[in-house]
Structure 1
Amino acid sequence: MKNMKWRNIMLLSLLCLSCAGLYAQENMKVNSIKQEKDSLKILSEGVVVFPQPGGYATDFKENTLSNPVTEIPDGQKIEIKLRKPFYIPPYYTNPSPRFYGDYATGGQILPNFYGSGMQETLPGLGRVNQASFFYRYDLNDYFSIQAGVDAVKYNFPNSVGQSLGVSGIVTYRPADRLHINVFGSYSPDNRYGFNRSAFGATVGYDFTDRFGMEVGAQRYYDPQRGWQTVPIVTPYYKFNKFDLGIDVGGILYEVLRSVMIDKRGGSPVIMPPGR
């Protein structure tokens, strides 16, 4: 009797397990977790494939595009911001962090009154700040005057100070293409050559509407050698907004002085090969 009872219990247990197995296999054929949008597609043969690149979802909205890389949906805004690490004013001369703060600006402040300012960083040396103001006035069709002040603040290793200077120019124009300048400047401190004491005169002539030449002489004070005289030879070119000229008088003077010393048998000069 007991054996019959245990046999019935075992048969009932096997029957329950077989039913549970059949139910589990039936559920494996159907996805019990239903998703409206799935990243994978399951075919009837059991092959798993990825979706085609024709569509993608952004912000939980379906977007069907022919080329999702190059096309942008109409309702989607893409904003690209190129942010700089710090604000750079337009008058700064160099955006590098090493030279951050260097600037150069200038222009007309009031009628006949002009000004300019700059800051320059010298790597390994220090920093220089400069400001200048000058007044220019045309007395008549022939004469014009200009006077100004200049201030320089320098900050070098073991040397911090300033240099002040004043300058003036009188210009005479006897003809349309001819002009004569008489100039002078004074500075109580000629340190580092920022400002210096000098005076001289030049004569300029415009060969064309763009090109001209200015020649003359100036005498300046050198703290080491005293007063020195050098020629002025400045070819210049007139652009639409400014004139560009380079004074080559000092170079010509040094070349002529070297030739004269060589002829008089002064200090030894190494001549180039073939001479």
Structure 2
Amino acid sequence: MRAVGLFDGKIIEVDEPVIRIEDRGYQFGDGVYDAWVAINGKHFLRKEHLDRLERSCNLIGIKPCYTRREVEEFTDKMLQESGIDFGIIYLQWTRGWQSPRSHIIGKDVKPLISGMAFPLNPYPEEFFTKGVKTIFYPDERHLMCHIKTLNLLGSVRGKNAAAEADAYEVLFVREMNNGSFVTECSLSNCFAVKNGVIYTAPNGKYILPGITRGVIIDLAKNLGYKLVEEFQTPDFFRNADEIFITNATAVMPNTVLDGKPVGDGKVGPVTKALIAEYQKLIDKVCY
């Protein structure tokens, strides 16, 4: 197993120098990306992630120069060449390179696709049996969180703040006109459970419409849980019975928040049930 790259439709070595200094993605963050997990050597939820990548392109006016089928073939080649069993498939579209550098987009700029496939080590089992730690962190990102853009400084700062606090993730807290509310995490969505009801922030400009988030919402409803998509305060999360977070790689129990136990400090029954249902879906698709 090894990491491989993709540049303009061609498989390359990941350390091969190919980026032009005048690429707008490199200089302005003018681009979008998406990523999904490969499990047992198979794409998991690729269609949904590529759908979102196309939506992101549309929202910022990038017109891909390859067809959907061609993009799928690129990702198949990356997966095959890498030989990964468990890993990440990453794709990004930049608006392309433009000379001379200008904030104003040139008329003849051609979008550029690039990406990589790389292996991942499985999460430690205790992450799922004992849960992970999170901290609150101010959400100072832009108002385009619903678009998966290359502008990730706020998320980078949040994730590094979590690492410095020996935590797995941050729960972003955004100041709004009517108070402070939890939005999402640096690279995950978050859910709180209180009295058997599941709460999560609504789709909109403050959060990314996570693919795993959507799957978990459907699974929760199928299991008969009531689900409320409304912003909740930090105190609501502090007093939750359970918290869990979702991203492309996992559904993760969160049992410690800001150094204090969530609920009884153990992985709760709702979280356990959803992890089990999510694993059933993985087994159905990838095994």
Return the TM-score normalized by structure 2.
0.22
The structure richer in strand per residue is 1
| Superposition TM-score, scaled by structure 1 size | 0.23
- Which structure dedicates a bigger proportion of its chain to helix? 2
Say which structure, 1 or 2, has more relative contact order (CA 8 Å, 6+ apart): 2
Higher-Rg structure is 1
